[in-house]
Structure 1
Amino acid sequence: MCASYGLDPRFTDDELLAEADEALIEGLREWAEANAGETLRPTGKNLRNLSPIVIDADGQTTLEPAWWGFLVNGEPAKFPSINTRSERLQERTGALKSRALVPATGWYEMKKPERVWHEFGLDTSALFGMAAVTQRGRTADGQWFTCYSIVMRPAPAHLADLHDRMPVLIPTAFAQDWLRAQGDRELIDEALLAAASLDDRVVAVPRADDKGAERLF
């Protein structure tokens, strides 16, 4: 599962959106600079470390601070909700009704049994988008948030010895489809095919300082 990821403000390449709004990209860079060096982790009940996601709002792509993981009955879900299996979405397409892209420059997984953290990303260190499904959630004090869950798929062969699953990466050409198309079985099937086109570009390196993978905002 993906339980932490990074957004490095030094990104110089952008593979997030085909026609990325300049203000959106600048907003991401400013957010990343303000949180430089931190690892993005699931949102806590008391520590509300909201992270930026890209959504479609009436035909416009926009940034929104969001809660990583679902809220149910005013509290973080009792069931695992920070990740959603792509296989589950193929069977239960209702969860595809509302979707987002999660901007990142890398994600972190631990290789077991060695317990060595690795950082995964694209070979160009580009800004990219991870597929996510979203829903609205309310906290016990009545505040509403957009909540997101990163969609996970089986890892390709060259990564499987490090971790058996990885986020569904959305190529630039498919980004608007993921955000705006009808949420059905065909969409998740096409997303998986599109994600596979990036497999050869995904690389992983051991983290020199694995403390970052344990930090909270």
Structure 2
Amino acid sequence: MSQEKEIPLFPLNVTLFPHMTLPLHIFEQRYRTMMKDIMDGDKLFGVVLIKSGPEVGGPAIPYSIGTTAMVETTKTLDDGRLNISTKGVDRFRIKNIIRNTPYLFANVDIIPEDTSIDLGAHQSLLDEVRELTREYVKGLVGLEGGWMQSVSLPDTGNNLSYFIASVLRVDANVKQQLLEIPATLDRFKQEAIILREQVKKIQIRIQKKYKFPKSGFN
């Protein structure tokens, strides 16, 4: 059963996932005001990807599904700007916008995690996405001239699916599609498709950059 909340919204050009961190630099006055109100309350707000409109200045229209974020640390700069660190908590769906000024404030439904499917019955898929994710992350590091012996991954299914979605370097709308998938198993299936394609692309780029025969990143 979903839980209803009233929260301020922060439209951005990024997609935040539950359990993932997001640093923010706050400089617009409306969002400074929002952060003051948040810190005086429960330190919770909603991050939503912008569907249309600018991130800075004028009004932005967000996607209907986003992620609640908890403020973990704040640092106020001399000129009033803020550096904050946040962590994603739950997915939510916007029911209606309560007000638009000085910042967006909405009535939302918290989306509960789908626990109806036993992920243990799909171990081969989980093993594949884990291995693909390790190859993908190692490949990204390799493209930048680095090297990783191992990649640490979350243990639990939901956390792993959100971790994978967060590290993918794909268009924001693709990440949004992953966020909106209701079931963790279906999210893993889509991530496997994306990872297979992305790993192949990285392998080709590394071969061209370093001029060595095709191989994995192990």
TM range (shorter): under 0.3
For normalisation by structure 1, the TM-score amounts to 0.26
- Structure in which a larger fraction of residues adopt strand: 1
- Structure in which a larger fraction of residues adopt helix: 2
Question: Which structure has the bigger radius of gyration?
Answer: 2
Higher relative contact order, chain-length normalized (CA < 8 Å, sep 6+)? 1
For normalisation by structure 2, the TM-score amounts to 0.26
